[in-house]
Amino acid sequence: MVTQKFVDSATELDGMLQRMHDLVIQHVREGQDAEHAVVNYLPPEELYKVVDFALPDQGAGVEGTFELIKSTLDNSVNSWNPRFMDKLYAGTNPIGVISEFLLGVLNGNCHVYHVSPVLSLMEIEVTKAVGKLLGMGDASGGLFCPGGSASNLLAMVTARNKLYPSIKTKGYIPRPFNPEAEYGKLKVFTSAHCHYSIDKAALVLGLGTDSIVKVPTDERSRMRVDVLERLINESIARGETPFFINATAGTTVMGGFDPIRSISSIAKKYNCWLHVDGSWGGSAIFSQNVRENLGWLDGAGLADTFTLNPHKLLGVPLQCSMLVTPHQGHLLFANANNLQADYLFHGNPYDLGAGTIGCGRRPDALKIFLAWKFYGKDGLGARIDRAIKAAADFTDIVRERPGFELVADPSAFCQVCFWYVPPSLKDEAAEWKKDPEVFKVKMTRVVHLLHERVNHGGDFLVDHAPLDNLAHFFRIVINAPTVNVHRDLAKLLDTIEDAGREIDWKNAF
């Protein structure tokens, strides 16, 4: 047992920080070492034996707790490693760690201004600056939410409350059940490649997932706008009320960008709220090349709300997600969602919590504010340009390698998606191809087995994904600014080939 003698917090923290310093720097160094694994993968039953998960009655003090901190570092995924390509986020960077540290020290709460004055103004200023970058003008701004799904949910509830305010008090009772209602069954339109959080939002709002209409996509994973308009008209003819169109800027699997400007014309024509889910690709607005040449986010300023996650593409620590609007910034959300909680909100328009679904709020804005200050808009843009270039270079390498086949060529954004047929399965694969259903089942099995072997090896973490009616495929996300095309990406293909040689395919199906 450790007896706690009184030490003042500053002295206690000083001692812990010195210990922490060495552990953390070593962890980051290992993440940058080309020879070091991304993770020492252990299944849960093994991990229970290695890490002490017991929660004690008596405190373990500095020694015991630091032992646990060390084993947490040793057994976690090292996201500083550029071969961590599994998800849409990568490791953070030094200023990212410092920003989290500052938040920890402040332990602030961004619901009311007078408990977090600096942090509240940072939130107002950074959402306004992003709104201006998106082309939303001087009256833009917004709020931070605990993730892109939460931002999308806040967008949908705000749209519903603004367009049909009676639902705020009376609940959702559409025509024909309520002949007096000014709306029929509310409908949401989004592409077939959208993120599931759009469905989740409809579920939470009580609209039901049947209220979502999935619009088909083209060969670049973009929503087919001609079909969108037809589906809206069919919905109206059924007596329903289309109210919300979601355009995705950077789809989760393929990285497609829906054509926001033409979707916006349709939204205006049919009195729908236009939301853009830019959780993944929205941050590309920091790149001058994207703004001025590629045009992927053209029309973003016409959106009523726009979700953008700096914690993905910009390397800001999780979570960091904002919802931006041209309609009076955060006041739109307060206006649409405020309740009379007078014990907390005393009428100060700088009280940001009034617009959200939660109460207390983590001041995540500080993290992108500091990243922007440190790197500048151009530095953040350069990170994106580099990722786009590396994804294009890697796409070229995959195209050239025998046995590999790209799902989309060229890759739409920073994801590179492909299948791999090991040489020993070449003849069988040619047979499978004769029947698309057979090919789908067999190739999915091939990809799952290869993927499991690659990830358990620990040198890489990558993901696989389904899409439409295709066989599952590898999805490699190029995001880390330290990724090296030849050392890291080409070597991944070697590792997949090795796995293809090691698996006993005779007994695999």
Ligand X SMILES: *Cc1c(COP(=O)(O)O)cnc(C)c1O
Residues that bind ligand X in the complex, under the rule CB under 6 A? 88, 147-149, 195, 197, 248, 252, 277, 279-280, 309, 321
Q: Does residue 458 contact residue 41 with C-beta atoms inside 8 Å?
A: yes
Q: Does residue 340 contact residue 284 with C-beta atoms inside 8 Å?
A: no
Joined together, the tokens standing for residue 296 give 């992927």
Q: How far apart are the first and last CA of the chain?
A: 55
Cβ closest to ligand X, residue 212 vs residue 503: 212
Cβ closest to ligand X, residue 149 vs residue 235: 149
Q: Does residue 83 contact residue 488 with C-beta atoms inside 8 Å?
A: yes
CA 329 from chain center: how many Å?
22
Report the distance separating Cα 375 and Cα 408, nearest Å: 33
Cβ closest to ligand X, residue 287 vs residue 319: 319
Cβ closest to ligand X, residue 85 vs residue 493: 85
Kind plus residue range of the DSSP H or E element containing 74: helix 61-75
Kind plus residue range of the DSSP H or E element containing 323: strand 321-325
| CB 205, min distance to ligand X, A | 16
| CB 292, min distance to ligand X, A | 24
| CB 142, min distance to ligand X, A | 15
Cβ closest to ligand X, residue 197 vs residue 241: 197
**Which alpha helices (H) appear in 308-435, and where do they start and end?**
310-313, 330-337, 365-400, 426-432
Q: Does residue 450 contact residue 426 with C-beta atoms inside 8 Å?
A: no
What angle, 0 to 180 degrees and rounded to 10, lies between the N-to-C axes of helices 94-106 and 365-400?
A: 150
Cβ closest to ligand X, residue 321 vs residue 395: 321
- Polymer length of the chain: 509
For tokens 């047979």, name the residue: 431
Joined together, the tokens standing for residue 87 give 């998800």
Cβ closest to ligand X, residue 120 vs residue 248: 248
Q: Within 10 A of 318 (CB to CB), how many other CB atoms are there?
A: 18
| CB 222, min distance to ligand X, A | 13
Cβ closest to ligand X, residue 252 vs residue 264: 252
Report the distance separating Cα 75 and Cα 37, nearest Å: 11
Joined together, the tokens standing for residue 115 give 């408990």
| CB 478, min distance to ligand X, A | 15
> Do strands 404-406 and 415-420 pair parallel, antiparallel, or not at all (unpaired)?
antiparallel
| CB 72, min distance to ligand X, A | 22
Looking at beta carbons, which residue is closest to ligand X? 148
| CB 309, min distance to ligand X, A | 5
| CB 101, min distance to ligand X, A | 22
